[in-house]
Amino acid sequence: MTDPFDISAVDRAHLWHPYTQHGLGRPPLPIARAEGAYLYDSSGRPIFDAISSWWVTLHGHAHPAIASAIAEQAGTLEHVMFAGFTHEPAARLAAALLERTPGNLCRVFLSDNGSTAVEVAVKMALQFWRNAGESRRLIVALEHAYHGDTFGAMSLSERGLFTAAFSDHLFDVLRLPDPGTSDTGLVLDQLLAERRREIAAVIVEPMLLGAGGMRVWSADALREIRDRTARQGILMIADEVLTGFGRTGPLFACEHAGIAPDILCLSKGITGGFLPLGATLTTERIFERFLSVERRKALFHGHSYTANPLACAAAIASWALLDDTCAERRRLIERCHRRAIAEFARHAAVRAPRVLGTVLAFEIEAESGYLNPIGAELHAFALERGVLLRPLGNTVYLLPPYCATESDLDRAYDVLRAFLALR
């Protein structure tokens, strides 16, 4: 018997999708299942997920090791509040993360998504100084930054299309210029000379400004920011929600520069794309500033689903898959990207071709901006040919799951070749 349930009709009548203008009348595509690097629509048509479903799917969809870990955990403990209780999946995840993260990070605050991991980091930084009896209210962030869609994360992000409707409600930050095009160290020196005693923290997306246009910047610039903050005792926050778990080559983008932040924000790929989870890692120095017999010095932040055991189990399983074999797969993707980008760079309409780890990106010559229609055109063009792309306006990028093969990548490159041939 055929199921009479009409997904599209119910969706059209009741669902509200993210980053979507429903008035344009473009119906979302129903997806029935996924496996490996592919999504399958309701007709069974395969679609290569060339952007890892908004950058979260690390090892491939429906990976059996992660699915099994979730199923096993579900039969034991599905959830318990994390205030006053603890459990093995959270403890094992914390130990696993800290074993391979850079520097002397030693405390893990678990939450539920990337924006929240950043919110926690900023609250930690601000209260760190308050607990010390200092009034430091300023955060320094980068031009073109994107840190999430909650209000604190929006405040840190570039002012523009994503934040315009809420601009009156966002707190002010100091802004450093794009480290890919400017002398960020010089500007930071000036800020420190003028306002050092007011600055609580500097936050960066190491090596790659993601939603701001997949802008790659140098390890030298990252090292300069870390050197200056460390010298002045100012906290450095590394937002690796996108760049963590091998996306830029090493497990963490900070490793390109051989530095470690005071606070590290993780999410997206942390569970391999199976369940929402965020993590904010920090040093004992920061934790000890909150450690007191005074309850008012505690970090008053939490979520009903903090340290959800199912999400923790998924994260542990995903973390275990980041082995030498996975590292070789990432290197294969990078080699394929570098061959392809050399070809794309010769096209007259391609600007700023670049590769960083498993990320390939370039601009198509057109008016810059998220609302440039060329992004929607390429999305539709690719989807018709069985490839999922979601350009950031005229910024085109590939960010595939690590299980992607050379033939999978060639499929995506062929779509880009065909689209560029029309320019």
364 contacts 349 by C-beta, under 8 angstroms: yes
Averaged over 267-284, what is the pLDDT?
98
Q: Return the DSSP state at 32.
A: E
Distances (CA, A) of 63 to 60, 132, 372, 403: 6, 46, 36, 10
- Is residue 146 among the annotated active site residues? yes
Q: Is 239 a catalytic residue?
A: yes
Q: What's the pLDDT score for residue 26?
A: 84
Residues in CB range of 266: below 8 A, 6 or more apart: 97, 114, 117, 240, 241, 244, 245, 278, 279, 280, 281
Q: Residue 27 — pLDDT band, cuts 50, 70, 90?
A: very high
105-161 pLDDT per residue, tens? 999 999 999 999 999 999 999 999 999 999 999 999 999 999 999 999 999 999 999
For residue range 35-55, what is the model confidence (pLDDT) as tens digits?
Answer: 999 999 999 999 999 999 999
Catalytic residue among 38, 49, 262, 268: 268
The pLDDT value recorded for residue 368 is 84
Amino acid at site 11? D
Question: What is the pLDDT confidence band of residue 4, given thresholds at 50, 70 and 90?
Answer: confident
* pLDDT higher than 50, residue 22: yes
Angle among Cα 414, 417, 423 to the nearest 5 degrees reads 150
Q: How far is CA 40 from CA 29, 65, 384, in A?
A: 10, 21, 13
160-177 pLDDT, tens digit per residue, is 999 999 999 999 999 999
The whole-angstrom separation of Cα 402 and Cα 37 is 8
Structure tokens at 286: 């920061």
pLDDT of amino acid 3:
61
**Is pLDDT above 90 for 25?**
no
Q: What is the pLDDT of residue 2?
A: 54
Q: Which long-range contacts (CB under 8 A, 24 or more apart) does 183-191 make?
A: 184/142, 184/221, 184/224, 184/225, 185/221, 185/224, 185/225, 185/228, 188/140, 188/224, 188/225, 188/228, 189/228, 191/140
Catalytic residue (one of 112, 239, 262, 408): 239
pLDDT value at residue 366: 86
How many angstroms separate the CA atoms of 242 and 333, rounded?
A: 17
How high does pLDDT run on average in the chain?
Answer: 97
Section 307-331 average pLDDT = 98
Contact 173, 156 (CB under 8 A): yes
109 backbone dihedrals φ, ψ, rounded to 5°: -105, 115
| pLDDT for position 66 | 98
- Which residues partner with 35 through β-bridges? 38
Mean of the pLDDT values across residues 319-332?
98
Q: What is the pLDDT of residues 334-387, one digit of tens each?
A: 999 999 999 999 999 999 999 999 999 999 998 888 999 999 999 999 999 999
pLDDT exceeding 90 applies to what percent of the chain? 97
Mean pLDDT of 234-247: 98
| Range list of H helices, 101-249 | 114-131, 151-156, 184-195, 219-232
Specify burial of residue 182 (Cβ count, 10 A radius: 0-12, 13-18, 19+). Answer: middle
Under 8 Å between Cβ of 345 and 383: no
Domains, the chain, ordered by start: 7-62+323-421 (3.90.1150.10), 66-320 (3.40.640.10)
Average pLDDT estimate for 239-265? 98
- Whether 123 sits among the annotated catalytic residues: the reply is no
- Residues 126-136 pLDDT 10s: 999 999 999 99
Of 38, 112, 146, 402, the catalytic one is 146
Neighbours of 170 (CB within 10 A): 16
The span from the CA of 55 to the CA of 367, in Å, is 25
Q: Is the pLDDT of residue 104 over 60?
A: yes
Q: So what's the pLDDT on residue 1? A: 42
